[in-house]
Amino acid sequence: MRIFVMLMLVGIIASLGSALVYIYRDHGPDKNRAVKALSLRVGLSFGLFLLLMAAHWFGWIVDRL
């Protein structure tokens, strides 16, 4: 579970970085790559949130306080 969460976080950061690159490099009338990258980031973030909520609900994540 920990590895999957870390991979999702890396994917979120990579998507954010690629959107930043697309914003600076795309100068034509069709600038959809940045929007698609940011949409992917939002989708990954929402999916990670739902996964963490479900993992807590099903007891896959234990409290370590």
Q: What would the pLDDT profile of 23-56 be if each residue is shown by its tens digit? A: 888 877 777 888 899 999 999 999 999 999 999 8
- Measured between alpha carbons, how far is 60 from 34 in angstroms, rounded to an integer? 35
pLDDT at 9: 95
Concatenated DSSP letters of the chain: -HHHHHHHHHHHHHHHHHHHHHHHH--SS--HHHHHHHHHHHHHHHHHHHHHHHHHHHT-S----
